[in-house]
């Protein structure tokens, strides 16, 4: 029934102030107000309609993306939206496109790696979209191994230019978003060669297409790399290829904040760590962690509302059928995902703080926290995107058959989200960076240099290597100190075990490659500890609103205890908990599920998503699922006619043949 709230009973059960939880979720009252206003602005604009994406051809979808991006830009200017509002606007538009890379990587690369003069020249052009840029790093032959890139930028002192060249097929740039059909410019990563010497990979601003007619400049071959996973989905993005044939750019288009090439061709490295050339990736990895909570919360919102609407099997006394959300199995799969969405939100907030802090330190030439910032952004990007991709797929299964329908919103969400496990660093490769950092930290224990930040717990190794958990009853698992100690002991013991095994190898690099799988597991344990500890820090802080803190506490312990359950092998094999304590944790988890159950729908309402943004018939705010499923089905082009195209060619002859042979 139109206008009826089918989830009203669920909403009435809530034991907390949903409006206050919306503010906690958004990060502040101001952030909530911005999100709330902008999401409705986008939802009410017919240009941003998105339900037909799956049935569009690639060309239609791409043109539709251009149209939406141009309209968004017009609105952003007409309404004089701030940077914060514009970011929200593009995110609620919810269609991957070249603008993501222009604002998300091209502009940050110039800001982070360009000199003052370079910023003054290029940023106004980029900020006004008079030029459109992308981030061209990955090549056909190398993505993860950045130092293995083959594109060359050779300085020619006679003309004061760099010659950008793709010497092999594998050196072709391959994957950059926005490159295929749109970008006029790119930040291109290439090996800098001066006076015959290779100085490694550096960034260069390169114009690719004419600003008059958009044709590729002479010496440039560029195009789209073709269809990607899923219909619609990420195919709105023009990921591209790019080949250079001795293409020349002026010397001042090398991004020279970190190192320079003089007019004479002398390479001058500054005293800052060369890894700062990877700074844009650190920035984006940090924002990908916040994005993980967006994607996972969307999926969880759909699965939670639908699980409350969907009923299967009568209860024993033959009354109304059971809401599937009341099955303990459903809760055991769904509620940890709901808790994870909140956990990733809070760790994302903290990571943003860490990133801002390290950026300020770098500006003051303090590089001490750079390795930790790299390890945290790499590890948390990896951990949260893997969990989110798996979580979206789990939400699809939680919605049964209807979850497989396009209009559930889940297939497209999954198809768009899953490459996050690969882009901005393959998730295994990134965890190995964390593992290197942990091995270094363990090797320095006892050297007098106390570990700080997220490895501070390693400084308490003497205690953590020996301690036994003091959990004696199920409620002890609601004690933050006891939970943290179990996670710290597990993470430290796994890291120390890897370090001990490494020390048995004469050649450390060989040892590292033999132990890769164990090292990744140790890195994941460390990252999970970070997320748990930041969630605990959140619930120990000031939180307003009736019942809000209580809900967050439940979510925090569900997050921690479900991880304990899932990785029980780690906890038991490291003696961080006993089998009896693990069983008490499962008992406590079941009790927490029961406490969460009446609040489940309100907890996803707190995400404050519009039906437009959710894009799901199953996750509609009003829960009016069944009539809307019919409406969506009838919109499918196959239902435009009762008798399908092709009937006369392919179906009728079969049936006729059958009738003829039956008569014989
Ligand atoms: C404002 C809103 C923003 C919204 C943003 C939206 C974003 C839009 C999303 C759009 C969608 C998709 C975008 C996708 C874009 C891309 O994918 S771009 C390409 C990304 N590519 C990668 O991520 C490549 C992954 N590889 C690497 O990062 C590195 O090469 C790797 C770390 C694997 C290399 O490691 P090493 O082999 O160790 O190489 P070295 O270069 O020699 O490093 C030596 C030491 O340096 C340390 N290190 C490495 N990286 C960093 C870093 N980033 N920062 C600090 N330090 C770093 C490394 O640990 C070594 O340290 P050690 O010597 O051991 O102490
Ligand atoms: C949708 C999408 C958008 C993208 N956008 C951009 C963009 O805008 N700009 C850009 O420059 N790039 C972009 N990329 C490229 C992306 O950054 C790379 O694909 C990514 O960094 C992974 O590198 P790769 O493809 O070389 O994977 P590979 O390194 O070839 O990975 C293949 C397998 O090998 C394993 N592996 C590799 N090295 C190791 C190791 N040392 N130890 C153990 N296992 C290892 C990996 O775990 C993986 O299982 C995009 C990619 C995608 C999918």
Mean pLDDT to the nearest integer, 228-256: 96
Q: CA 342, CA 16: separation in Å to the nearest integer? A: 16
Q: Tell me which of 68-72, 362-366, 384-388, 515-519 is least confident.
A: 362-366
Model confidence at 664: pLDDT above 60: no
Does ligand 2 come within 6 angstroms of the Cβ of 280? no
CA gap 45, 433 in Å, rounded: 44
| Rounded-to-integer distance, Cα 516 and Cα 512, Å | 6
Nearest to 611 by CA among 84, 92, 87, 234: 92
**Among all chains, which residue has been given the structure tokens 């998105």?**
50
Count of beta carbons in the 10 Å neighbourhood of residue 275: 13
Beta strand pairing status for 185-194 and 133-136? parallel
Query: How confident is the model over 608-627, as a mean pLDDT?
Result: 98
Q: Which two tokens stand for residue 569?
A: 């092998």
Q: What percent of the chain has pLDDT over 90?
A: 93
Active-site positions? 424
| Residue reference for tokens 């919306």 | 22
Residues ≥6 apart with Cβ < 8 Å to 289? 344, 347, 348, 351, 377, 380, 381, 384
Residue 658 has pLDDT above 90, yes or no: no
pLDDT, average across residues 438-456: 94
User: What per-residue confidence (pLDDT) applies to 161?
Assistant: 98
pLDDT digit string (tens) for 473-501? 999 999 999 999 999 999 999 999 999 99
**Residue 271, SS3 per DSSP:** coil
Please give the C-alpha separations between residue 129 and each of 116, 177, 360, in angstroms, as whole numbers.
20, 16, 28
Residue 416 Cα to ligand 1 midpoint, Å, equals 22
Binding site per annotation, positions for FAD = 138, 177
What is the C-alpha radius of gyration for the chain, rounded to an integer number of angstroms? 27
Nearest CA residue ID for atom 28, ligand 2: 144
Contact 488, 457 (CB under 8 A): yes
User: Within 10 Å of residue 331's Cβ, how many Cβ atoms?
Assistant: 23
Answer for the pair 413, 472: CB distance below 8 angstroms, yes or no: no
Residue 215 is classified by DSSP as P
**Residue whose tokens read 């430290």:** 492
pLDDT at position 1, please? 59
- State whether the beta carbon of 608 lies less than 6 angstroms from ligand 2: no
Q: Can you give the residue ranges of every domain in the chain?
A: 133-270
- The mean of the pLDDT values for the chain is 96
Using an 8 Å Cβ cutoff, are 585 and 577 in contact?
Answer: yes
pLDDT per residue as tens digits for the range 181-224: 999 999 999 999 999 999 999 999 999 999 999 999 999 999 99
CB of 331 closer than 6 angstroms to any ligand 2 atom: no
Say how far apart CA 453 and CA 109 lie, in whole Å. Answer: 27
144, 372, 428, 444: residue to mutate for ligand 1 pocket, most atoms within 8 A of CB: 144
Give the up-direction half-sphere exposure of residue 47: CA atoms within 13 A in the CB hemisphere: 17
Has residue 659 got a pLDDT over 70? no
Alpha carbon distance 473, 577 (integer Å): 13
Which residue puts its alpha carbon closest to atom 46 of ligand 1? Answer: 275
| Stretch (H or E) spanning 173 | strand 173-174
Q: Cα separation of 460 and 138, whole Å?
A: 41
Question: 424-447 b/e with 16+ CB inside 10 Å = b?
Answer: bbebbebbbbbbbbbbebbeebee
Which residues of 92-159 form beta strands (DSSP E)? 133-136, 152-156
Is the CB–ligand 2 distance for residue 180 below 6 Å?
no
pLDDT surpassing 90 at residue 3? no
Q: How far is CA 37 from CA 41, 138, 545, 614, 632, in A?
A: 6, 38, 22, 16, 28
How many other CB atoms are found less than 10 A from the CB of residue 453? 15
Residue 322, classed as helix, strand or coil, is: strand
Residue to mutate, 93, 127, 275, 508, ligand 1, most ligand atoms under 8 Å from C-beta: 275
Residues 339, 342: Cα–Cα separation, whole Å: 5
Joined together, the tokens standing for residue 332 give: 């055991």
Q: How confident is the model at residue 87, as a pLDDT?
A: 97
Average pLDDT over residues 249-275: 94
Ligand 1 site residues, Cβ closer than 6 angstroms:
87, 100-101, 104, 135, 137-138, 143-144, 146-147, 177, 275, 278, 281-282, 284, 287, 370, 374, 423-425, 429, 433, 436
Tell me the CA end-to-end span of the chain in Å, nearest whole number: 54
Hey, which residues does 637 pair with through a beta bridge?
Answer: none
Task: Say what the pTM is.
Answer: 0.97
Where residue 270 falls among pLDDT bands split at 50, 70, 90?
confident
- Say whether pLDDT at 423 is over 90: yes
Q: Whose CA is nearest to atom 5 of ligand 2?
A: 176
**Ligand 2 centroid vs 173 CA: distance in angstroms?**
13
pLDDT of residue 163: 98
On whether the CB atoms of residues 139 and 171 are closer than 8 A, the answer is yes
The H or E element that residue 565 is part of is helix 548-566
For ligand 1, the distance from its centroid to the CA atom of residue 140, given in whole angstroms, is 17
CATH number, domain 133-270, options 2.60.40.2550, 2.40.110.10, 3.30.70.920, 3.60.15.10: 2.40.110.10
The CB of 236 under 6 Å from ligand 2? The reply is no
Quick: pLDDT tens for 581-617.
999 999 999 999 999 999 999 999 999 999 999 999 9
Ligand 2 pocket test, pick from 101, 102, 105, 138 with the greatest ligand atom count within 8 Å of Cβ, gives 138
């Amino acid at each position: 029934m139109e206008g009826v709230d089918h989830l009203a009973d669920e909403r009435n059960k809530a034991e907390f102030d949903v409006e206050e939880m919306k503010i906690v979720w958004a990060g502040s009252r101001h952030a909530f107000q911005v999100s709330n206003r902008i999401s409705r602005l986008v939802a009410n604009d017919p240009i941003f309609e998105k339900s037909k994406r799956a049935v569009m051809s690639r060309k239609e979808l791409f043109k539709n993306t251009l149209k939406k991006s141009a309209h968004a830009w017009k609105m952003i200017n007409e309404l004089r939206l701030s940077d914060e509002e514009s970011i929200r606007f593009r995110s609620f538009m919810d269609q991957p496109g070249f603008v993501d890379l222009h604002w998300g990587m091209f502009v940050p690369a110039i800001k982070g790696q360009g000199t003052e003069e370079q910023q003054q020249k290029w940023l106004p052009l980029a900020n006004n979209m008079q030029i459109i840029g992308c981030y061209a790093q990955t090549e056909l032959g190398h993505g993860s191994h950045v130092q293995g890139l083959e594109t060359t930028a050779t300085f020619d002192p006679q003309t004061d230019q760099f010659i950008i060249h793709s010497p092999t097929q594998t050196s072709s740039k391959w994957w950059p978003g926005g490159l295929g059909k749109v970008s006029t410019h790119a930040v291109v990563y290439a090996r800098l060669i001066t006076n015959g010497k290779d100085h490694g990979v550096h960034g260069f601003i390169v114009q690719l297409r004419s600003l008059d007619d958009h044709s590729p400049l002479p010496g440039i071959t560029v195009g789209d790399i073709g269809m990607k996973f899923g219909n619609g989905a990420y195919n709105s993005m023009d990921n591209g290829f790019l080949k250079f044939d001795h293409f020349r750019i002026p010397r001042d288009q090398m991004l020279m904040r970190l190192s320079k090439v003089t007019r004479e061709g002398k390479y001058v490295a500054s005293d800052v760590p060369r890894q700062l050339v990877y700074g844009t990736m650190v920035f984006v990895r940090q924002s990908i962690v916040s994005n993980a909570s967006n994607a996972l919360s969307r999926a969880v919102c759909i699965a939670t509302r639908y699980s409350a609407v969907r009923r299967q099997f009568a209860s024993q006394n033959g009354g109304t059928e059971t809401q599937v959300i009341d099955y303990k199995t459903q809760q055991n799969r769904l509620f940890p995902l709901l808790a994870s969405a909140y956990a990733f939100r809070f760790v994302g907030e903290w990571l943003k703080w860490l990133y801002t802090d390290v950026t300020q330190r770098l500006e003051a030439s303090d590089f001490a926290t750079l390795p930790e910032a790299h390890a945290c952004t790499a590890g948390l990007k990896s951990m949260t995107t893997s969990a989110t991709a798996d979580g979206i797929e789990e939400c699809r299964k939680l919605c049964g058959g209807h979850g497989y329908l396009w209009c559930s919103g889940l297939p497209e969400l999954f198809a768009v989200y899953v490459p996050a496990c690969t882009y901005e660093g393959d998730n295994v490769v990134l965890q190995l960076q964390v593992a290197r950092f942990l091995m270094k930290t363990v090797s320095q224990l006892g050297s007098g240099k106390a570990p700080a930040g997220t490895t501070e717990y390693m400084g308490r190794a003497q205690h953590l290597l020996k301690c036994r958990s003091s959990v004696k009853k199920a409620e002890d698992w609601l004690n933050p100190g006891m939970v943290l100690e179990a996670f710290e002991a597990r993470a430290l013991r796994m890291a120390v075990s890897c370090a001990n095994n490494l020390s048995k190898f004469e050649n450390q690099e060989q040892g590292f490659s033999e132990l890769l799988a164990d090292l990744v597991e140790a890195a994941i344990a460390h990252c999970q500890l970070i997320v748990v500890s930041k969630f605990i820090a959140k619930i120990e802080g000031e939180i307003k609103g009736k019942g809000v803190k209580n809900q967050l506490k439940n979510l925090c312990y569900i997050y921690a205890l479900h991880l304990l359950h899932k990785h029980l092998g780690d906890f038991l094999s490291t003696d961080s908990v006993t089998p009896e304590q693990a069983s008490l944790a499962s008992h406590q988890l079941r009790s927490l599920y029961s406490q969460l159950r009446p609040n489940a729908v309100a907890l996803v309402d707190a995400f404050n998503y519009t039906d437009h943004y959710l894009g799901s018939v199953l996750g509609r705010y009003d829960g009016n699922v069944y009539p809307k499923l019919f409406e969506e089905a009838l919109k499918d082009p196959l239902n435009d006619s009762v008798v399908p195209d092709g009937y006369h060619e392919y179906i009728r002859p079969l049936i006729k043949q059958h009738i003829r042979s039956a008569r014989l």
